[in-house]
Amino acid sequence: MNLDRRTLLRGIGAAGATLAFSGFASAADGSAQYLITGLNRKTRSELEMGGFTIRHVLAEGNVAVVTGPEGAVGDLEGIRGVSAATRDISVELDLPELDATATATPGEDAALRDLQWDNDLTRATPAHEIATGKGARIAIIDSGIDLDHPDLGNVNENLGEVFVADDDVPEIGPGDSGYHGTHVAGIAAATGAVGVVGLAPEAELIPIRVFPANGGATFGDILAGIDYAAEIGADVANFSLGIPGVQQPGVEINKLRASIQKVFQSAVRRGTVITGSAGNASGNLQQGGGLTLPNSVPAVITVSATSPADTLSFYSNYGTSDIDVAAPGGWYETVPRTLGETGEPDDVPFPYNGVLSTWPMDAAPAYLPISGYDAISGTSMAAPQVAGLVGLVRSLDPSLNAGQVESVIKQGADLSNGNSDPRFGAGRINVLETLQLVE
């Protein structure tokens, strides 16, 4: 595949995948969508009398996603029982452009495993002698998962679900409407049947699609996906999604935080660990109260991205207030080193210094000339590393609650003394060390 520097930089600028704010969420009939906290029987009656329709009831009845007239936040806040109301927003995946020249296919027996430098750093292979994720359930809230990929035979399509307000591809169900979800899913739990091995290769994958093929996902649908994961008893729910940039506490968009926190805390209480990406804006989440959504809430294990050299990847957000742990996300601490213009003799060359994982079989990869696989990078790729590790921990000891799972992952991590490194939090995950603490 022929790639010039401009193409590489464009892809690197996208940092694998992030979200772009695309406006306020609306239904197909033009009605506005809102998130409200505080819900009871009388509240529901008043909502219906006020011309609102309830789409989702979440967080054990404490949060609702409703549609209704434009400019109705004040009306909603005036309903008895409603403690907060805010306009929902729509976000779109911002993905690198594709090159349609890939044709090669891999061989058998995890033929691409030697290219998975991330599994070597986290010591995943020797850890699989202790646990492989059997019995664990990993939910992927994303663009769906390729249901026909040979390395994703552990996908439970029957439990898969779709939360898309105006779905333009309803016929695919929880299948992948793009490619982001398939790549994320393979990092967490690819079986290794053909090309690559995930962190928890015998775990069960649950595809929860919140994106149409064209257009954005609403926060209401993303939260519905998290809530559903808890409802079906998922051990972990991964969302490699977040509003780009670093938000300041007073901006309008942060009014969503109350509903997000209620949903996430409810899921954790029900036993589902939540893993989320820290964001790809190179942003300091430590100074001035900066934060990202939906990642900057206490109930989420927020994950920064590291390179093949165990440095913070150049695009990753950082900050003591937010980062819980780090995991391989791909690329190096600078663009020149990523492209091989600087660095060490044993550096992994571009594009293989991205994270190699599964890719929809009918989609052209972005960088590698290998059908069904590609190497991209971002904190999107770091979060499912931790989700896979949660699956391994839970397969060893299903009795551990969400807080205990997070604690043992932090104890087993490398590169940090304590939990407060602004780049790595408690450290870059060490799969073998973590499982040795559990067994």
**82 vs 34: CA distance, rounded Å:** 12
Catalytic residue among 142, 167, 227, 421: 142
Q: Could you tell me the two tokens for 327?
A: 């995991």
Catalytic residue of the set 380, 395, 416, 421: 380
- Residue 264 · residue 293 · CB < 8 Å: no
And the tokens for 422?
Answer: 């602004």
Can you list the alpha helix ranges (DSSP code H) found in 80-164? 117-121, 124-127
Q: What is the Cβ-side half-sphere exposure of residue 432, based on CA atoms within 13 angstroms?
A: 10
The tokens of 276 are what? 């989320």
Instruction: Give the position of tokens 């010039």.
Output: 4
Please name the amino acid found at residue 160. Answer: G
List, in sequence order, every beta strand (DSSP E) within 173-250. 204-209, 217-218, 236-239
Is 322 within 8 Å of 247 (Cβ atoms)? no
Is residue 142 annotated as a catalytic residue, yes or no?
yes
User: Which one of 149, 180, 316, 377 is the catalytic residue?
Assistant: 180
**What is the number of H-type helices and E-type strands within the chain?**
12, 16
Give yes or no for a contact between 150 and 187, defined as CB atoms under 8 angstroms apart.
no
Burial string for 152-168 (b: 16+ CB within 10 Å, else e) reads: bebbeeebbbbbbbebe
Structure tokens at 5: 């520097």
DSSP code at position 412: T
Indicate which residues carry an active-site annotation. Answer: 142, 180, 380
